[in-house]
Amino acid sequence: MADKEIVRYPDDVLRKHAKEVSKVTPEIKKLAKEMMEIMHASGNGVGLAANQIGVLQRIFVYDDGENKGAVINPKITSAEGEQTGPEGCLSVPGLQGEVMRANQIVMKGLNADGKPVKIKAEGFFARILQHEFDHLNGTLFIDRAEPDTLEYITAEDEEAPVE
Ligand code: NI
């Protein structure tokens, strides 16, 4: 699987609102699997939303080393606390910036098998989920980053996780 490439800023598709998935079909399941492969092939990717491969469906995948899966039609049902930390994006290569996010969230949606899931996340994992959720609404981390913290990363930071 290598026919789909990661779309890069400023491609329009990154600014579009992705559509609800009406039914978790075998195609959607396949899409989730492909997205996971593409994210892993990127090297340091910890999350990937469908917009990022040019597909406007509400689905994203994540793998931070501890938590791994796909969420379809995600909803954030609770958000508490604050955290500020560096963020990057596979669609905005080389750029990093400080972004404030909720520290703890609850997300509901469906997994790749079409089963309802309720994910309680905090810290970095919560950051990933919020970053991917934003993608599905056409929002990028550069919209939320403190402008004076946006910087091009140096070679030694290149292994920093990106979403
Ligand atoms: Ni991203």
Q: How many Å apart are CA 7 and CA 44, to the nearest integer?
A: 16
For residue 132, being part of any structural domain is answered with yes
For residue 56, being part of any structural domain is answered with yes
Ligand 1 centroid to Cα of residue 100, in Å, is: 15
pLDDT for res 1: 45
Ligand 1 centroid to Cα of residue 24, in Å, is: 23
Amino acid of residue 59: I
Q: How many Å apart are CA 18 and CA 119, to the nearest integer?
A: 21
| 2: pLDDT strictly greater than 60 | no
For residue 25, being part of any structural domain is answered with yes
For residue 160, being part of any structural domain is answered with no
Average pLDDT, the chain: 95
Omega cis (within 30) before 147? no
Ligand 1 centroid to Cα of residue 153, in Å, is: 16
Which residue shows structure tokens 């309720």?
118
pLDDT band at 156 (very low <50, low <70, confident <90, very high): low
Omega cis (within 30) before 10? yes
More confident residue, 75 or 161: 75
**What would the pLDDT profile of 24-72 be if each residue is shown by its tens digit?**
999 999 999 999 999 999 989 999 999 999 999 999 999 999 999 999 9
pTM given for the model = 0.95
For residue 163, being part of any structural domain is answered with no
Q: Which domain holds residue 110?
A: 12-152
For residue 4, being part of any structural domain is answered with no
Number of domains comprising the chain: 1
Q: What is the CATH number of the domain that holds 124?
A: 3.90.45.10
Q: Which of 20, 37, 82, 132 is catalytic?
A: 132
For residue 162, being part of any structural domain is answered with no
Ligand 1 centroid to Cα of residue 52, in Å, is: 8
**DSSP secondary structure letter of residue 128:** H
Q: How many Å apart are CA 23 and CA 111, to the nearest integer?
A: 12
Provide the token pair at 67: 């938590």
Q: Is 98 a catalytic residue?
A: no
